[in-house]
């Protein structure tokens, strides 16, 4: 377009000059002919005649040139008009006074039909002072051929450009960058344009009719500022009779556009109900006594079919600590404005929590509570999980500490019982009584083992276990446990791979699950144990656990009993939780199973359907067989010393015994001395190190407790081995901490002996270490 303007500019100026001066040529030719007629000299007359003819010829040539130029200019204008007809921007061809010569389709859509006042009138809707802008741009276009300006309109930003055309015409092109569709689609809407100081810059006719005046500022129109988009505001001077809903359409170039919609009073109950229904947030309108007056669709979906007008909030929800009636009465008090509370829905099918926020309002002369609901089930679930984890951790620490103390007591009881049995024959009257004491100590040790399993602080002895062989060995015992009215069946995967686990603890897990399944079938039934290989290619998320991808061995214990209620299913692994009657269970069975499985590195899941039965699924990772840490053989709690053990050959060696519990230290010292060892005693690690300061003292083996006041067992042993690197070590403890295995690997020639241990177990462990 600029090239076209540069080409036709000189021709246009020449055309204007010729059109105003061309009539001089015929007049000059006539004047020359008249003078030639009166000149007496023939030569002079001839010269004048030739001059007149030359002027007439020039006139003809110039007329033809002017005619051709006008035809070309008309053709050019027509081409330009045809070119801009389908332009997406508004294109208008005017004369130099602004009268419209052409109006394309885009301009018709944007401004409507051409107004009588021309372009100036058309742009009045979007520009504050269109006449000044158009004159400035027209002068620049006449001088330079084209001009453009970026303008800020009442609806956004735009660019207005002008190009000079032949025949003193101008091509105007208006393009909007951020047109406001709301204004384009609602020409009858009441529109305001407001400046930075809240001064009203422009009002359309619809706004003037709605407001019935011409205010200068927003303060004089509404009084209270700032205006909140979407809310209703009272017009000043109407006494609360006229309200306008204000829609803020955004700010461009320091100007803010507002749409005004006529509305009724904002506190009418019907209007509030209508507004509630269109909002996507669950909302209730309730009276101070808790009676529901209105509920929108999201609230009905959340609260269920019982949420309807006339229902009471207390019938749909349950308070978490106090009655809903008292809570509503407090929220409706004059001194309270906003109140929030967590409630549980009374729906028996699912456990759902909602957070309820109340806002007191006065509608039609009555106090009502606008209630905002939000689903807080996930939040409460996370909170319950956190509380449960804290509780389990606290109980686990308590159980571990109790088990440690009990193991010390049981070690002393069992040990002194062994010492007394050494001095009596089976025919002695006290022998049977000592056997009973020993057996009850073993039962107590078994219960302590369950506590340690629950707290995951028991000492596991992992080994390669083939579940098919393990279950086959257990079959006879399991059949005796389930009785005659229950059928036990096993199904194995023929390609089942071995796992790493403590065989004795794994057997306890299977027996506990089978016994629970038997108790769930009081009238008989079938228990099925299924083993299979499970390969996970992506994480398995169940309950609160996430099983990482890999290969697992799955063990399922399935029964056909009465099942577990849905509200109890997530509590079955909690300690001391049981559905059995008093005296029939301790509630430690499944918590013990959970502790053993988790300490082994496995997973356990429970599925149940009431009336159909339950299924407990165990997942153990398949691992390569690793070199096992040297650990003493599993203690046989029920070992009873025989006459052969009493007559064993005496051994030799110096033992440093470090134990903070006096009864345990006294028993262990006496037992080792009976075997012929020389025993040096210390009640703490510091005392042991002082004994070792004697460089002439030869010590063959350290027997030390792991957990002691002050320096613990591994710490003082590591320090002592710096000066005595060849001494062997036996660690004893009521439980082994999780980090102890890693520490033990750093101490050469060391084994672990868990409490409670018998006299025979202690002496045999020391004997193996020395030889």
With beta carbons less than 8 A apart as the criterion, state whether 8 and 166 touch: yes
State the Cα angle at 762 between 759 and 768, rounded to 5°: 135
With beta carbons less than 8 A apart as the criterion, state whether 295 and 274 touch: no
End-to-end Cα separation, the chain, in angstroms: 107
Q: What is the mean pLDDT of residues 673-695?
A: 90
Lowest mean pLDDT among 215-229, 453-467, 756-770: 453-467
Residues 173, 308: Cα–Cα separation, whole Å = 59
Helices (H), 100-151: 105-111, 119-122, 130-144
Tens digits of per-residue pLDDT, 451-495? 665 555 555 667 888 888 888 888 877 888 888 888 899 998 888
* Highest mean pLDDT, choosing among 135-149, 357-371, 660-674: 660-674
Label residue 712 by pLDDT band (50, 70, 90): confident
> Is residue 135 pLDDT above 90, yes or no?
no
Residues 317, 162: Cα–Cα separation, whole Å = 70
Residue 334, pLDDT score: 62
Residues 225, 230: Cα–Cα separation, whole Å = 14
Q: What is the mean pLDDT of residues 26-52?
A: 70
Beta 90-95 vs 100-103: how paired, if at all?
antiparallel
Label residue 624 by pLDDT band (50, 70, 90): low
For the question of whether the overall pTM of this predicted structure is more than 0.75, the answer is: no
| Residue 444 half-sphere exposure toward CB, CA atoms < 13 A | 22
Q: What is the mean pLDDT of residues 30-38?
A: 70
Tokens of 104: 């394309």
Residue 7, pLDDT score: 41
Residue 734, pLDDT score: 76
Lowest mean pLDDT among 137-141, 179-183, 696-700: 179-183
Distances (CA, A) of 52 to 19, 45, 62, 365: 21, 11, 15, 104
Q: What is the mean pLDDT of residues 722-745?
A: 75
> Is residue 592 pLDDT above 80, yes or no?
no
Residues 14, 24: Cα–Cα separation, whole Å = 16
Tens digits of per-residue pLDDT, 538-550? 888 887 778 889 9
With beta carbons less than 8 A apart as the criterion, state whether 6 and 33 touch: no
> Is residue 67 pLDDT above 90, yes or no?
no
> Is residue 246 pLDDT above 90, yes or no?
no
Q: What is the full DSSP assignment across 264-285?
A: --TT-HHHHHHHHHHSSS-EEE
pLDDT: which is higher, 612 or 231: 612
Beta 353-363 vs 366-375: how paired, if at all?
antiparallel
Grouping H, G, I as helix, E, B as strand and the rest as coil, residue 225 is: coil
Residue indicated by tokens 């901490």: 737
Adjacent-strand bridge partners of 319: 343
Residue 650, pLDDT score: 60
The torsion of the CA quartet 218, 222, 228, 229, rounded to 10 degrees, works out to: -70
Mean pLDDT of the chain: 75
Q: Which of 418, 442, 459, 451 is nearest to 751 (CA)?
A: 459
Residue 701, pLDDT score: 93
Cite the beta strand spans of 502-621 per DSSP E. Answer: 525-536, 540-542, 545-547, 550-559, 603-609, 613-621
> Is residue 2 pLDDT above 90, yes or no?
no
With beta carbons less than 8 A apart as the criterion, state whether 246 and 258 touch: yes
Q: Which of 379, 373, 382, 381 is nearest to 301 (CA)?
A: 373
* Highest mean pLDDT, choosing among 215-224, 382-391, 447-456: 215-224
> Is residue 520 pLDDT above 70, yes or no?
yes
- Break the chain down into helix, strand, coil percent, rounded to 5: 40, 25, 35
Tokens of 540: 């398995």
Distances (CA, A) of 213 to 208, 210, 217, 255, 599: 6, 8, 12, 21, 81
Label residue 596 by pLDDT band (50, 70, 90): confident
Distances (CA, A) of 483 to 360, 391, 524, 528, 650: 66, 37, 9, 15, 49
Q: What is the mean pLDDT of residues 362-385?
A: 74
> Is residue 725 pLDDT above 60, yes or no?
yes
Task: Tell me: cis bond preceding 529? Omega within 30 of 0 counts.
Answer: no
Distances (CA, A) of 573 to 255, 388, 556, 557, 610: 65, 11, 16, 16, 18
Residue indicated by tokens 């004089």: 220
With beta carbons less than 8 A apart as the criterion, state whether 180 and 186 touch: no
Residue 585, pLDDT score: 47
Tens digits of per-residue pLDDT, 252-267? 667 777 878 776 555 4
Beta 486-491 vs 525-536: how paired, if at all?
parallel
Q: What is the mean pLDDT of residues 625-636?
A: 43
Distances (CA, A) of 489 to 5, 472, 557, 599: 99, 11, 10, 28
* Highest mean pLDDT, choosing among 315-319, 414-418, 691-695: 691-695
With beta carbons less than 8 A apart as the criterion, state whether 766 and 677 touch: yes
Label residue 617 by pLDDT band (50, 70, 90): very high
Count how many residues are written for the chain: 771
Backbone angles phi, psi at 170, to 5 degrees: -130, 140
Tokens of 188: 């009858």
Longest dimension (CA), the chain: 187
Residue 512, pLDDT score: 85
% of the chain surpassing 70 pLDDT = 70
Residues 146, 161: Cα–Cα separation, whole Å = 7
Residues 703, 769: Cα–Cα separation, whole Å = 11
Residue 704, pLDDT score: 93
Residue 325, pLDDT score: 73
């Amino acid at each position: 377009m600029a090239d076209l303007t540069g080409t036709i500019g000189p021709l246009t100026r020449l055309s204007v000059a010729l059109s105003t001066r061309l009539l001089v040529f015929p007049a000059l030719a006539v004047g020359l002919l008249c003078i030639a007629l009166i000149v007496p000299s023939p030569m002079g007359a001839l010269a004048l005649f030739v001059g007149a003819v030359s002027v007439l010829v020039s006139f003809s040539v110039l007329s033809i040139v002017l005619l051709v130029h006008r035809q070309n200019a008309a053709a050019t204008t027509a081409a330009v008009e045809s070119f801009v007809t389908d332009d997406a921007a508004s294109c208008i061809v005017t004369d130099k006074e602004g009268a419209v010569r052409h109006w394309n389709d885009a301009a018709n859509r944007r401004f409507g039909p051409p107004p009588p006042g021309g372009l100036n009138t058309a742009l009045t809707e979007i520009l504050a002072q269109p006449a000044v802008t158009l004159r400035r741009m027209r002068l620049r276009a006449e001088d330079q051929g084209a001009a453009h300006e970026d303008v800020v309109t009442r609806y956004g930003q735009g660019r207005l450009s002008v190009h000079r055309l032949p025949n003193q015409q101008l091509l105007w092109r208006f393009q909007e960058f951020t047109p406001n569709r709301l204004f384009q689609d609602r020409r009858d809407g009441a529109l305001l344009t407001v400046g930075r100081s809240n001064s009203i810059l422009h009002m359309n006719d619809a706004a003037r009719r709605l407001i019935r005046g011409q205010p200068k500022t927003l303060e004089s129109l509404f009084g209270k500022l700032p205006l909140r988009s979407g809310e209703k505001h009272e017009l000043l001077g109407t006494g609360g009779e006229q309200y306008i809903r204000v829609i803020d359409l955004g700010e461009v170039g320091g100007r803010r556009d507002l749409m005004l919609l006529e509305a009724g009073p904002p506190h009418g109950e019907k209007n509030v109900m209508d507004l509630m229904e269109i909002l996507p947030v669950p909302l209730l309108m309730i009276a101070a006594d808790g009676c529901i007056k209105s509920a929108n669709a999201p609230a009905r979906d959340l609260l269920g079919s019982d949420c309807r007008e006339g229902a009471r909030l207390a019938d749909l929800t349950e308070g978490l600590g106090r009655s809903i009636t008292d809570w509503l009465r407090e929220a409706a008090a004059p001194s309270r404005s906003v109140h929030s509370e967590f409630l549980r829905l009374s729906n028996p099918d699912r456990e759902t929590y909602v957070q309820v926020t109340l806002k007191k309002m006065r509608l039609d002369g009555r106090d009502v509570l606008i209630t905002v609901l939000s689903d807080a089930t996930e939040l409460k679930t996370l909170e319950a999980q956190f509380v449960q984890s804290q509780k389990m951790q606290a109980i686990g620490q308590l159980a571990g500490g109790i088990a440690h103390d009990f193991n010390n007591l049981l070690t002393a009881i069992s040990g002194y019982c062994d010492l007394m049995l050494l001095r009596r024959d089976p025919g002695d009257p006290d022998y049977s009584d000592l056997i009973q004491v020993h057996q009850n100590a073993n039962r107590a040790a078994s219960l302590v083992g369950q506590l340690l399993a629950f707290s995951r602080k028991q000492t596991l002895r992992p080994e390669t276990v083939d579940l098919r062989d393990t279950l086959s060995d257990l079959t006879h015992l399991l059949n005796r446990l389930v009785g005659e009215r229950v059928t036990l069946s096993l199904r194995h995967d023929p390609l089942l791979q071995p796992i790493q686990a403590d065989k004795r603890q794994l057997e306890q897990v299977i027996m506990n699950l089978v016994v629970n399944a038997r108790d769930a079938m009081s009238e008989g039934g079938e228990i099925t144990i299924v083993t299979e290989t499970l390969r996970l290619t992506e994480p398995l998320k169940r309950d609160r656990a996430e099983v990482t991808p890999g290969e697992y061995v799955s063990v399922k214990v399935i029964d056909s009993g009465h099942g577990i209620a849905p509200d109890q299913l997530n509590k079955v692994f909690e300690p001391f939780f049981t559905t059995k009657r008093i005296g029939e269970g301790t509630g430690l069975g499944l918590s013990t199973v959970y502790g053993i499985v988790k300490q082994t590195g496995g997973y356990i899941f429970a599925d149940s359907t009431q009336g159909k039965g339950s299924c407990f699924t165990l997942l153990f990772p398949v691992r390569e067989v690793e070199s096992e840490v040297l650990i003493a053989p599993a203690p046989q709690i029920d070992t009873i010393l025989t006459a052969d053990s009493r007559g064993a050959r005496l051994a030799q060696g110096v033992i440093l015994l470090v134990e903070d519990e006096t009864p345990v230290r006294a028993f262990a010292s006496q037992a080792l001395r009976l075997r012929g060892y020389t025993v040096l005693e210390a009640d703490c690690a510091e005392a042991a190190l002082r004994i070792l300061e004697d460089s002439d003292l030869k010590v063959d083996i350290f027997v030390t407790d792991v957990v002691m006041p002050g320096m613990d067992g591994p710490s003082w042993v590591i320090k002592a081995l710096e000066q005595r690197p060849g001494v062997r070590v036996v660690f004893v403890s009521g439980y082994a901490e999780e980090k102890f295995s890693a520490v033990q690997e750093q101490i050469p020639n060391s084994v672990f002996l868990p409490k409670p241990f018998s006299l025979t177990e202690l002496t045999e462990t020391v004997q193996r270490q020395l030889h």
